[in-house]
Amino acid sequence: MADHSNMKLGRKAIRTDSRTLALGDYLTSTLPPPPPSKDWTCGNTSWGMMANDKLGDCTIAGIGHAIQVWSACTGGEITVADSTVVSYYETWDGYNPADPTTDRGGIELDVLNNWHKQPFDGHNLVAFADPKYTNLLEIRQSIALFGGVYIGMALTITRMCGMWCRKAARTPRRAAGAATACSCRLTTRRALRASPGAG
């Protein structure tokens, strides 16, 4: 298992575009409800970091993990090489290995638009739609129907440490503050039930 205590994060500010398809427009009342849970990991427990332990390439690593998940669940897992992930981080997010200051992550919408326009390592993205992050039904349907949700998160440094620095005996907890860390994830496994009181 990877040590996430030094993980590089890399989601930049959220960018929206009114032309992006809204998933809710396509979820009709005749669609069955999502199942109580859905697991698209297909038994895999080791996905690799795709250089996200060294670089803030989470927006690109998320795509690599999507390909890994979708291929594993359809008969033959494809793992995109770290070097390929980094090359797309350079092309789509502007990273330059000769200039560490360019390791600043990417914008999910830009990455998805780039993938829609050109294949990622031979894999096409035919379309994508944006579920409302405040609508649990849309999130659940996204996971159940499409194998995952490509999401960005803004976390306080304290929250991030709470998630990834559970080894308190070995890793000192960072001080709380206003600083935030941003990350992008592909969520593929989820108990699709809301917690009590959630909408």
pLDDT at 100: 94
pLDDT at 155: 59
pLDDT at 69: 87
The predicted model scores a pTM of 0.75
Helix (H, G, I), strand (E, B) or coil at 135: coil
Local structure of residue 33 (DSSP, 8 states) = P
pLDDT at 27: 92
Model confidence pLDDT, tens digit, residues 105-157: 898 899 999 999 999 999 999 999 989 888 999 999 998 998 888 877 665 55
Q: How far apart are CA 117 and CA 110, in angstroms?
A: 11
pLDDT at 161: 47
Find, among 167, 158, 165, 160, the residue nearest to 183 by Cα.
Answer: 160
DSSP strand pairing (129-130 vs 21-22): parallel
**pLDDT tens per residue, the chain (199 residues)?**
444 455 555 555 677 778 888 999 999 989 999 998 888 888 888 889 999 889 989 889 999 999 998 898 888 899 999 999 999 999 999 999 999 999 998 988 999 999 999 999 999 999 999 898 889 999 999 989 988 888 776 655 555 544 444 333 333 333 333 333 445 556 655 444 333 333 3
pLDDT at 110: 93
Q: How far apart are CA 117 and CA 156, in angstroms?
A: 34
pLDDT at 6: 54
HSE value, Cβ hemisphere, 13 Å, CA-based, for 173: 11
Domain boundaries of the chain, sorted by first residue: 4-14+48-189
pLDDT at 154: 63
pLDDT at 92: 97
Q: What are the CA-CA distances from residue 109 to residues 26, 33, 114 (Å)?
A: 19, 27, 8
pLDDT at 45: 80
